[in-house]
Amino acid sequence: MLPITIDLLKETDLDNYVQFNTYPKPLEILNRLQAGHLCFVVRYEKQIVHACWAVTNNKIAYAILDPLHRKVMEHLARDEVYVYDSFTAPNFRGKGISPARALQMVGYFREAGCKRMIAIVKPENKSSIRAMEKAGYHPTRSMMHLLNVSRFAIAIWSDAENSTEGQLRTR
């Protein structure tokens, strides 16, 4: 494993983030951070090489998301976290960075009282699925009927003590 550090993105990291990935744009990054979204970043030699965003269900966070993300958030309970926009720099893929970050996220949100983390991944994205499984996520079902877009799978990490594994809560 590479000598990496994992921490939360700060507004002062914008230049470093944009060098790593041109999406989202700086203004959207600021809007996300100010609305309570968290971005877990992995650094190698002080440079960001991986990032993944997460958000709980709150109205401010909901307002700035695109329609796909909003559709998922409509179904989040208060003790659930939606994980989205994960990206690893091409030269760092396959080195265990994403599973290491995912394990750190699970611990962070478990400590904060969250019971489930939900992520969406296309079924053909085998490397993302493997990384998620290494961190304890379990693929559960297709969300095709929920999203009315192309095929996606949903993966859920659940606190074993309070597990409703495999069920997406609907209201």
Q: For each of the chain's 171 residues, which pLDDT tens digit applies? A: 789 999 999 999 999 999 999 988 899 899 889 888 999 999 999 999 999 999 887 666 666 677 777 777 777 888 888 888 999 999 999 999 998 998 899 889 989 888 888 887 777 788 888 888 887 777 665 554 444 444 455 555 555 444 433 333 322
**169 within some domain:** no
Among candidate residues 68, 76, 75, the one with its CA nearest the CA of residue 149 = 68
Total number of domains constituting the chain: 1
Report pTM: 0.82
Going across the sheet that includes 153-158, the strands are 4-8, 38-44, 47-56, 80-88, 116-121, 153-158, 138-142
Q: What is the DSSP letter of 64?
A: T
Asked, for residue 171, whether it belongs to a domain, the answer is no
The confidence score (pLDDT) of residue 153 equals 52
Q: Specify the CATH number for the domain of residue 11.
A: 3.40.630.30
Contact by Cβ (8 Å): 118, 81 = yes
Residue 167 forms part of a structural domain: no
Q: Is 126 inside a domain boundary?
A: yes
Task: Report yes or no on 99 lying in a domain.
Answer: yes
The residue range of the domain holding 25 is 4-162
